[in-house]
Amino acid sequence: MSTRKFSSLKLNTALLANLDTLGYTEMTQIQAQSLPLILVGKDVIGQGKTGSGKTAAFGLGLLEKLAVKRFRVQSLVICPTRELADQVAKEIRRLARSVQNIKVTTLCGGMPFGPQIGSLERGSHIIVGTPGRLDEHIRKGTLKLDEVTTLVLDEADRMLEMGFQEVLDQIIAMLPAKRQTLLFSATYPGEIQAIAQRIMVQPEMVQTLSTHDESTIAQRFYKVDDNRQRLQVLRLLLLEQRPQSAIVFCNTKRETQEVTDALKGYGFSALALHGDLDQKDRTQSLACFSNKSVSILVATDVAARGLDIESLDAVYNYQIARDQEVHTHRIGRTGRAGSKGIACSLFSEQEVHKVLKLDGDIDPLHDCLPIPPASLLDRTPEQPAMTTLQIDGGKKQKLRPGDILGALTGERGIQGKQVGKISIQENYAYVAVERSVYKEALSIIGKGSLKGRSFRVRHIS
């Protein structure tokens, strides 16, 4: 039997059966190396690129050792951003769906505090949260961690980069000394080594390739004269390649907004994602991008960390990243799960030294590609086939995806194939529909009812 098969592991039969239904048969490299160690209780440091399968690795470890009948917090997963925490919690719930009564609770900032207290009072097995909100619950006495047996630090390098070192230390100080600690990170700088030495016991190191296979990600470099030409080259690349889903990375929040506004002015379907946006706008931008009603997301590195975006066609580095590790993470957003992807990087003469640091095999003066012809500027930017409606009702109003789909496709409704991704938030729901039928969909929901109630609905992208 292959050691890369999940069935070779000593996992609960219900978990194995569920993995089959999810189509998980062969383990990824990081899963094959880390899961056997996790299952025997070892502390593990896992280093791997985005999309390597680390969430399933630690998620299965948490679920295997869980005492389901004890409604106490037994596992704590700390993530740098709300988006990553939501993604991780969702994946753990998928892995656990064959085991009854497992409660996974997310505790993140930007969400109402009261409902989180209520959820904790009803009992939870696994907590997935961000450092600031976890610390707040601990200080107010609403989160007890005295029975935690497993701690997971996910994207640990990013948490330290975002300045969470002190808060992490405060949270970890509240945990039992006798526990299993799992640390996952895309990179392994000195700060990560230091925290591992402090909080882990004889950890096993698991490393997968941090560079990207050229067979799945084609790296392309383009030299520009100045910022004015930089924007024009970005437009030319977008018009030539016509990606259905792409991220443009900028180094600052200001540049992110400026590039977004410029692209929209030229007719591109684009939205910004940066730290100056409030949580509602961030959630809306992500919903529209993930359901493919917006083609281009212009983002800073921190804002884009942990995004759960499938089938990303291309990444554009509007400016060169500050170091190799950030560059590796950026281009790792495309070409995931074996699919093909393109990573295009723009650089000026002043940035040549940064490009030289990215990869010793790349000579920016000789290996850069010619800029696409200016005649492409005559093209009209392609618009997404889907568009998004926002419904002013969500989880609090007991709305489910099935309720929305049923309303849209009921008698004299639109076809099921014309409905795309449906995302339910606390007080809002987002549904993608084909652009050709969005007015009909607006009318169906606006004039009809969901769960016997009327909800306000509007077209947002």
User: 181 versus 424: which is more confidently predicted?
Assistant: 181
Do 313 and 357 lie in a common domain? yes
Q: Give the Å distances, CA to CA, from 393 to 210, 277, 292, 427.
A: 42, 22, 21, 5
The whole-number average pLDDT for the span 10-36 is: 89
Q: Which of 258, 260, 253, 250 is nearest to 288 (CA)?
A: 260
360, 378, 396 - which closes a domain: 378
Q: Where are the alpha helices (DSSP H) in 296-400?
A: 301-304, 324-331, 352-358
**Angle in degrees, 0-180, between the axes of helices 131-139 and 113-121, rounded to the nearest 10:** 70
Look at residue 28 and tell me if it is in a domain.
yes
Do 191 and 257 lie in a common domain? no
CA distance 419 to 26: 32
Do 413 and 363 lie in a common domain? no
What is the amino acid identity at position 81? Answer: T
* pLDDT of 52 above 70: yes
Do 176 and 267 lie in a common domain? no
* pLDDT of 101 above 80: yes
316, 344, 378 - which closes a domain: 378
The whole-number average pLDDT for the span 341-348 is: 90
Do 432 and 286 lie in a common domain? no
Look at residue 212 and tell me if it is in a domain.
no
Kindly report the three-state secondary structure assignment for every residue of 19-39: HHHHCCCECCHHHHHHHHHHH
CA distance 364 to 221: 7
Do 298 and 278 lie in a common domain? yes
pLDDT in tens, 279-301: 888 889 988 998 899 999 999 98
Q: What is the rounded average pLDDT for all residues in the chain?
A: 88
The pLDDT, as a whole number, for residue 402 is: 82
Instruction: Count CB atoms within 10 A of the CB of residue 108.
Output: 21
pLDDT in tens, 311-335: 688 999 999 988 877 887 788 777 6
- Residue 278 belongs to domain with CATH number: 3.40.50.300
Do 131 and 91 lie in a common domain? yes
Q: Which of 455, 354, 445, 359 is nearest to 398 (CA)?
A: 455
Count of H helices and E strands in the chain?
A: 17, 17
Percent of the chain topping pLDDT 90: 54
The pLDDT, as a whole number, for residue 451 is: 77
8 Å CB contact between 32 and 7:
no
378, 410, 445 - which closes a domain: 378
Q: CA 353 from chain center: how many Å?
A: 30
Terminal Cα distance for the chain, rounded: 50
Domain holding 155, by residue range, is 6-207
Instruction: Count CB atoms within 10 A of the CB of residue 98.
Output: 18
Do 181 and 77 lie in a common domain? yes
Do 275 and 186 lie in a common domain? no
Percent of the chain topping pLDDT 70: 92
The whole-number average pLDDT for the span 383-389 is: 94
Under the banding of pLDDT at 50, 70 and 90, the label for residue 346 is very high
Look at residue 49 and tell me if it is in a domain.
yes
Domain count, the chain: 3
pLDDT in tens, 358-371: 765 566 667 789 99
Under the banding of pLDDT at 50, 70 and 90, the label for residue 337 is very low
The pLDDT, as a whole number, for residue 231 is: 97
Look at residue 328 and tell me if it is in a domain.
yes
Under the banding of pLDDT at 50, 70 and 90, the label for residue 219 is confident
Q: What is the pTM of this model?
A: 0.60
CA distance 130 to 82: 6
* pLDDT of 51 above 70: no
What phi and psi, each to the nearest 5 degrees, are found at residue 278?
-75, 170
* pLDDT of 25 above 90: no
8 Å CB contact between 30 and 57:
yes
The pLDDT, as a whole number, for residue 1 is: 37
- Residue 438 belongs to domain with CATH number: 3.30.70.330
Do 354 and 278 lie in a common domain? yes
Do 37 and 114 lie in a common domain? yes
pLDDT in tens, 396-436: 898 888 889 888 988 778 988 899 888 888 899 999 999 99
The pLDDT, as a whole number, for residue 282 is: 87
